[in-house]
Amino acid sequence: MRIRILPPLLLSAANLTANTAAWCQSSAGPSPHATATASRATPEFAGAGLVSDVGGYFTAPLHWNGGDWAWLAGSLVAIGVSHHYDTQVRTHFQKTTGLPQTSSDVQDAVPSAAVFVATALYANLINDESGRREAWAMLESGGLSAATSYGLKFAISRRSPHQTSDPNQWFKNGGMSFPSTHASVAFAFGTVLAESGGDDYRWVRRLLGYGLGAATSYQRLKHNAHWLSDTVGGAALGCATAHFVMNRANERDQGAGFTVVPVERGAMLVYRVSLP
């Protein structure tokens, strides 16, 4: 099922299909050097659709179909169920680690940052275009999910478990708990890692990708920074955003149209069309 974008609070899943795109040029096309330079400019090319993606991301609810609303309903149920266990989870960590404690925001963000940096560096090391696209998808989905999560934090103003033992402290001054930004970014990065690339090592990618999100969420609970439902909401947001970004990239690869690609000392106008 194809997901355009599912809102914050949406636990999404989408089937991504692999597509190949053909680049059509006139007989008097650009020089080989210009073509090679353009192929190395993958982040700039991928970023050319950023403005369009941002607009599509925040206006997607206007274009939802029945399946999209069904996924929203399912995610709300998942968040509601996890909210029922917020106190129990906090009590569990209170017995094992002692609460309240100071959260370690930087420490809990290190694994996600390491995955992104490793992906980008390795792609450039082996000069792999698909790897650069994957790194860009991580950066875009992580940025969009982080921006959305912060917007929700200010709007919902839920107090975190190190501020109160009551999980129902919503719309309170100083509340910045729901959803977990760490979880949303980790699941955004992890979903791109899990669902990109070929299928030869798909199980490894999914283990590492979704494991990153789960481990980050666990650390946020262990450090008493978030309620369980905060991490579930963050996971929903991160997964949905990653699928949105990857689907948009696939649509651009499949569709025909002109694109400006940066090259040395200028830019190249390229017409792209998919061939059967």
* Whole-number pLDDT of residue 252: 80
| 183 domain-assigned | yes
Give the count of domains, the chain: 1
Q: What is the pLDDT of residue 272?
A: 60
Let me know if residue 49 belongs to a domain.
Answer: yes
Query: Which amino acid appears at position 222 of this protein?
Result: K
User: What is the band of 261 on the pLDDT scale with cuts at 50, 70, 90?
Assistant: low
List, for residues 24-42, the tens digit of each pLDDT value.
233 334 344 333 333 333 4
Task: Find which of 7-16, 39-48, 79-88 is predicted with most confidence, using mean pLDDT.
Answer: 79-88
Quick check: is 198 in a domain?
Answer: yes
The contacts of residue 114 (CB under 8 Å, 6+ apart) are none
Q: Give me the pLDDT at residue 251, please.
A: 83
Q: Is residue 3 part of a domain?
A: no
pLDDT at 77: 95
Is residue 85 classed as helix, strand or coil in its secondary structure? coil
- Please give the pLDDT value at position 99: 63
Calculate the average pLDDT of the chain: 80
Q: Where in the sequence is the domain holding 238, given as residue range(s)?
A: 28-58+65-273
Residue 5 has pLDDT above 90, yes or no: no
Per-residue pLDDT, averaged over 149-166, amounts to 95
Domain for residue 201, yes or no? Answer: yes
Domain membership flag for residue 13: no
Tell me what the mean pLDDT of segment 204-218 comes to. 97
- Has residue 15 been placed in a domain? no
Asked if residue 10 belongs to a domain, the reply is no
Mean pLDDT of 97-110: 77
Which segment of 16-30, 67-81, 161-175, 214-228 scores lowest on mean pLDDT? 16-30
Question: Which is higher by pLDDT, 77 or 73?
Answer: 77
Could you read off the pLDDT of 177-207 as tens digits, one per residue? 999 999 999 999 999 999 998 888 999 999 9
**pLDDT at site 21:** 28
Q: What is the pLDDT of residue 250?
A: 86
Tell me what pLDDT residue 87 has.
96
pLDDT tens-digit map of 47-68: 567 888 898 899 988 988 888 7
